[in-house]
Chain A
Amino acid sequence: MIWLRQLLLGRLVRLAWLLPLAAVGLFTLISLAPIDPVQAYVGDRTSLIGPEQRQAIAATWGLDRPAPARFATWLGGVLHGDLGRSLTFDAPVAEVIARRFPTSLALIGSAFAVSFILGTGLGIAAAAARGGIADRTIRTAAVVLTASPGFWIAILLIALFAVGLGWLPACCAAPPGLTAEETGWLDSLRHLVLPVATLSVVGTAPLILHTRQRLVAFLDGPAALHLRAHGLSWWRIAFGAGLRHAVGPALTLHLAGAGELFGGSVLAETVFAWPGLGQATVQAATGADASLLMGIGLATLLFVFCGNLLADIAAHLADPRLRQASA
């Protein structure tokens, strides 16, 4: 287990310089953005809010002070465990994130699982049938999916399943008009289908191609040929020994791509009016809501960091050579 301790220590050191760097970078970007937070806050009441009231709003939110002073205040708060107050939602940032994170996690978690199972399974199937019609179909589909923008897939899914066939809802995380108590889990599940399908596409295609590539190499290797000589079918070999061979690296790749799921969730949440962190990110950005953007930014950073760490641990567990190298 020595490798694990070394890995964790190294990663903690990395996090220690990554977090402050990200915070400063994010804050600089937000300060330089050509959006006036007061104007964004006033919105369509421009005609009713006079100059004195604008100054009062700026003073209330501390927007009348220079950027370094604002950053110092924010940093002081964070060190005391206070992430500040969101201008967009007029609520503590920690509260906004806590309220919305589970909603996003349901989406991201489901998409992560679905794309992993689909990607790995299809990749292995393609490898088993390499050169055949199934292989070509799967590969073509993967390439098409890789090249398709997520929003376009979302619109396609909505047009087909929501508007055309009327099978699935096109918006929201639950049926509109029913309270939380009145909403059954089946309803929630139906609302999850299209956003998860959209988001899964992001991770599935590279996984198919990667798994297929890896497995073709294995199937052409001596071990697989040996099994074949014993009379096993390619399918049995692929989904038996091959699966064990491919699943570790596939999981590593997939965990490393967790950050992309976050990016994709911003889009999926916007299209499907899914009230999670992605939606809040868009609103915070358009309103120059520095505290909330910083909060979400750092939370995302931690999330992706953990994803990558898990990917590394998975890789070490799957491949003994890595463990020896670091020991």
Chain B
Amino acid sequence: MRRFFKSTLLAAALLALLGAVTAQARPLVLAVGGEPETGFDPITGWGSYGNPLFQSTLLRRNAELALKGDLATEWSLSEDRTLWTITLRDDARFSDGTPVTPEDVAFTFNTARDAGGLVDLTGFEAARVTGPHQVELELSEPRISFTNELATLGIVPADAYGPNYARKPIGSGPFRMVEWREGEHLIVEPNPYWHGGDVPFERVTFIFGSEEAALSLARTGEADLVAVPSSQADAPPNGMEALHVETVDNRGLMFPMVPDTGKTTESGVPIGNDVTADRAIRVAVNQALDREALVALALNGHGRPATGPADGLPWGNPEGAIPGNDPQAARATLKAAGWQDTDNDGTREKDGRDATFSIVYPAGDSTRQALALGAAQQLRGIGIAARPTGRSWEEIRTMMHSQVVVLGWGAHDPSEISHIYHGDFAGMGYFNPGFYDNATVNAHLEAAERAPSLEASLPEWQAAAWDGETGFSAKGDAAWAWMVNLEHSYWVSECLDTGKRQIHPHGHGFPITHDLPDWRWTCGE
């Protein structure tokens, strides 16, 4: 009680002194989901989207997605592109006051490699301490997309790491934990040892639980920022405004690329589709789709037409796209390739085979359902009979090598492009389900991974989409028909400035916290 009294007095005195400043430090309440049920351990996968809160990373991506140093002051890649040498800043401390050492970095990477969690360090050999502020990371082969791991893997303290770490995290990030009530909320406060400056919030609360609960908190004025479904976004409550963030959270039609020869995968899943294996069909779909209409229909207008898997990212390439909403051109393409409607049933055929396929979507996803229905409707106009088909994810896995599926990607990681289009990944789970395999594209993707820096790799990633001759984009093999990029909608307090924003990745909600320490209150009390 005495302590309480003293601290109250102290607070009152501070208030009198710093009236304006304390008004700036008022607590912040967010309801943007993103609760990691397994806790806040970067080694098992915490923090790959949004702000890792408690930990900091070697590098960070700024609003333009360029790499900047965070714990690292210098980073260089060897001649043979398999050895990163990283120099650490000397003023970084964990929230318990102990300094961040190269031993901690080596421990983090080596432990994550063997943990069997959600950090994929395939191709990473080992980390070694090579000096008082220096660490080496060795790769088994050149892989420039390893920079993504440098930018997302939070560093943990080797000494304080153990079985309870995930629920009591200690790190060198902007915040430290006050209380986590699982399923309900997470309360954090600024980490006084953080090397990144002052955070203008005395406390930040993340509210979990249902979407409805979040919306009602916004309506009662208890939350300052809430993730909302786009259908409700345009009616923010008093004192809040709607915010629509551009994303690379995309949706597209994935085509099976090989003919059906009766082949199956090891687990007996059929491979191939004779209709979509014909490039003319895939190009015609790309020409016919009215993507503006799909944005209006499926996303309430909150999105933009998609040209590829990485729109707006440094490694994206819109050059390979074909203007859509052109049924004339689509019909010409089909006709030239021998797809004709000879029996006047509205569907073209070729060699006795109808131009028909299923467009499979996960049954519980209303956005993908609307996209599948809309696309099927638009394709009917050019004589392709697509059947929208809702299935569970488990069933989709047995159909995705032989039917068209509505899939979505969009990470801040160029290796995703390899995963979707490189022949080596054909049929590996959700990677490249259509068995696309083009030697030139593979070569571009491999050249990109061998680049001396992320900047230097960008032209190769782009060339994989379209190099003037071939590529995976619509001008080339048209391996997918990309449809839309979603926008993520939020309600934000009119008194909160959330600064510059990245193009958001796949996953609505938590990514908005990426630059949380830079946010500001704009209203006086």
Known: A174-B181, A177-B29. A88 touches B393 (CB 8 A): no
Give the interface segment out of A11-19, A35-43, A227-235: A35-43
Which residues of the other chain, B, contact A170 by a CB distance below 8 angstroms?
A: 212-213, 216
Whether B205 pairs with A177 at a CB distance below 8 angstroms is yes
Question: In A165-196, which residues have CB < 8 Å from any B CB?
Answer: 166, 170-174, 176-177, 179-180
Which residues of the other chain, A, contact B416 by a CB distance below 8 angstroms?
A: 47-48
A159 to chain B, nearest CB (A): 10
- Residue of A34, A51, A99, A174 ringed by the most chain B CB atoms within 10 A: A51
B395 to chain A, nearest CB (A): 8
User: Is A279 in contact with chain B by the CB < 8 A criterion?
Assistant: yes
B62 to chain A, nearest CB (A): 21
Which residues of the other chain, A, contact B415 by a CB distance below 8 angstroms?
A: 48
Report the bound CA distance from A195 to B209 in whole Å: 14
Known: A34-B394, A177-B29, A177-B187. A283 touches B116 (CB 8 A): no
User: Is A320 in contact with chain B by the CB < 8 A criterion?
Assistant: no
A194 to chain B, nearest CB (A): 12
Report the bound CA distance from A88 to B35 in whole Å: 12
Whether A275 pairs with B181 at a CB distance below 8 angstroms is yes
Whether B116 pairs with A59 at a CB distance below 8 angstroms is yes
Whether A51 pairs with B431 at a CB distance below 8 angstroms is yes
A95 to chain B, nearest CB (A): 10
Whether A179 pairs with B411 at a CB distance below 8 angstroms is no
Whether A171 pairs with B216 at a CB distance below 8 angstroms is yes
Known: A90-B166, A171-B209. A176 touches B222 (CB 8 A): yes
A61 to chain B, nearest CB (A): 8
B94 to chain A, nearest CB (A): 22
Which residue of B has the minimal Cβ distance to A59?
B116
Please, what's the 1-or-0 string for A52-63, where 1 marks a CB less than 8 Å from any CB in chain B? 111011011100
Which residue in A46, A48, A166, A275 is a CB contact (below 8 Å) of B183? A275
Whether B184 pairs with A47 at a CB distance below 8 angstroms is no
Place the interface of chain B in its size category.
35 or more
Report the bound CA distance from A177 to B223 in whole Å: 10
B344 to chain A, nearest CB (A): 42
Report the bound CA distance from A174 to B181 in whole Å: 10
Report the bound CA distance from A270 to B208 in whole Å: 12
Please, what's the 1-or-0 string for B148-179, where 1 marks a CB less than 8 Å from any CB in chain A? 00000000000000000011000000000011
Report the bound CA distance from A170 to B220 in whole Å: 11
Report the bound CA distance from A91 to B164 in whole Å: 9
Whether A180 pairs with B179 at a CB distance below 8 angstroms is yes
Please, what's the 1-or-0 string for B203-234, where 1 marks a CB less than 8 Å from any CB in chain A? 10101111011001101101000000000000
Whether B213 pairs with A273 at a CB distance below 8 angstroms is yes
Whether A50 pairs with B208 at a CB distance below 8 angstroms is no
Whether A176 pairs with B38 at a CB distance below 8 angstroms is no
Whether A60 pairs with B117 at a CB distance below 8 angstroms is yes
Whether B205 pairs with A176 at a CB distance below 8 angstroms is yes
Whether B178 pairs with A179 at a CB distance below 8 angstroms is yes
A192 to chain B, nearest CB (A): 14
User: Is A271 in contact with chain B by the CB < 8 A criterion?
Assistant: yes
Whether B207 pairs with A54 at a CB distance below 8 angstroms is no
Whether A53 pairs with B178 at a CB distance below 8 angstroms is no
User: Is A163 in contact with chain B by the CB < 8 A criterion?
Assistant: yes
A62 to chain B, nearest CB (A): 10
Whether A56 pairs with B116 at a CB distance below 8 angstroms is yes
Which residue in A35, A47, A273, A275 is a CB contact (below 8 Å) of B419? A47
Whether A273 pairs with B209 at a CB distance below 8 angstroms is yes
Whether A41 pairs with B118 at a CB distance below 8 angstroms is yes
B36 to chain A, nearest CB (A): 9
B446 to chain A, nearest CB (A): 16
Which residue in B115, B205, B210, B219 is a CB contact (below 8 Å) of A271? B210
Whether A48 pairs with B120 at a CB distance below 8 angstroms is yes
User: Is B45 in contact with chain A by the CB < 8 A criterion?
Assistant: yes
User: Is B141 in contact with chain A by the CB < 8 A criterion?
Assistant: no
Place the interface of chain A in its size category.
35 or more
Whether A45 pairs with B394 at a CB distance below 8 angstroms is no
Which residues of the other chain, B, contact A41 by a CB distance below 8 angstroms?
A: 118
Report the bound CA distance from A44 to B409 in whole Å: 9
User: Is A303 in contact with chain B by the CB < 8 A criterion?
Assistant: no
Report the bound CA distance from A163 to B217 in whole Å: 10
A163 to chain B, nearest CB (A): 6
Whether B38 pairs with A51 at a CB distance below 8 angstroms is no
Which residues of the other chain, A, contact B209 by a CB distance below 8 angstroms?
A: 171-172, 273
Report the bound CA distance from A91 to B506 in whole Å: 27
B406 to chain A, nearest CB (A): 14
Which residues of the other chain, B, contact A173 by a CB distance below 8 angstroms?
A: 181, 184
Whether A90 pairs with B39 at a CB distance below 8 angstroms is yes
Whether A177 pairs with B27 at a CB distance below 8 angstroms is yes
Question: In B177-213, which residues have CB < 8 Å from any A CB?
Answer: 178-179, 181-185, 187, 203, 205, 207-210, 212-213
Whether A50 pairs with B431 at a CB distance below 8 angstroms is yes
Which residue of A has the minimal Cβ distance to B413?
A48
A156 to chain B, nearest CB (A): 13
A40 to chain B, nearest CB (A): 9
Whether B118 pairs with A45 at a CB distance below 8 angstroms is yes
Report the bound CA distance from A41 to B118 in whole Å: 8
Whether B29 pairs with A51 at a CB distance below 8 angstroms is no
User: Is A162 in contact with chain B by the CB < 8 A criterion?
Assistant: yes
B184 to chain A, nearest CB (A): 5
Whether B413 pairs with A275 at a CB distance below 8 angstroms is no
Whether B38 pairs with A273 at a CB distance below 8 angstroms is no
Report the bound CA distance from A235 to B418 in whole Å: 80
Which residues of the other chain, B, contact A163 by a CB distance below 8 angstroms?
A: 216, 219
Whether A50 pairs with B122 at a CB distance below 8 angstroms is yes
Known: A47-B430, A54-B429, A163-B219. A176 touches B184 (CB 8 A): yes
User: Is B493 in contact with chain A by the CB < 8 A criterion?
Assistant: no
Report the bound CA distance from A45 to B203 in whole Å: 29
Whether B185 pairs with A177 at a CB distance below 8 angstroms is yes
Which residue of B has the minimal Cβ distance to A274?
B183
Whether A162 pairs with B120 at a CB distance below 8 angstroms is no
Whether A176 pairs with B29 at a CB distance below 8 angstroms is yes
Whether A60 pairs with B419 at a CB distance below 8 angstroms is no
Whether B122 pairs with A273 at a CB distance below 8 angstroms is no
Whether B183 pairs with A279 at a CB distance below 8 angstroms is yes
Which residues of the other chain, A, contact B507 by a CB distance below 8 angstroms?
A: 44
Whether A35 pairs with B394 at a CB distance below 8 angstroms is yes
Whether A50 pairs with B117 at a CB distance below 8 angstroms is no
Which residue in A35, A60, A171, A275 is a CB contact (below 8 Å) of B210? A171
User: Is A78 in contact with chain B by the CB < 8 A criterion?
Assistant: no
Which residue of A has the minimal Cβ distance to B213?
A171
Which residue of A has the minimal Cβ distance to B167?
A91
Which residue of A has the minimal Cβ distance to B409?
A47
A-B contact pairs, 22 of them (CB 8 A): A35-B394, A42-B118, A45-B48, A47-B409, A48-B411, A48-B416, A49-B120, A50-B431, A52-B122, A53-B120, A57-B118, A91-B166, A91-B167, A158-B212, A171-B213, A171-B217, A173-B184, A176-B184, A176-B185, A270-B210, A271-B210, A283-B37
Give the 6 A-B residue pairs with the shortest CB-CB distance, closest first. Answer: A273-B209, A60-B116, A275-B183, A90-B38, A171-B213, A53-B120
Contact surface of B with A, Cβ cutoff 8 Å: 27, 29, 37-39, 41, 44-45, 48, 115-122, 166-167, 178-179, 181-185, 187, 203, 205, 207-210, 212-213, 216-217, 219-220, 222, 392-395, 397, 409-411, 413, 415-416, 419-420, 428-431, 506-507
**16 further contact pairs, Cβ within 8 A, besides A51-B431, A90-B41:** A47-B430, A50-B419, A51-B428, A53-B119, A90-B37, A170-B213, A171-B213, A172-B207, A176-B29, A176-B207, A176-B217, A179-B179, A180-B181, A273-B210, A275-B181, A275-B182
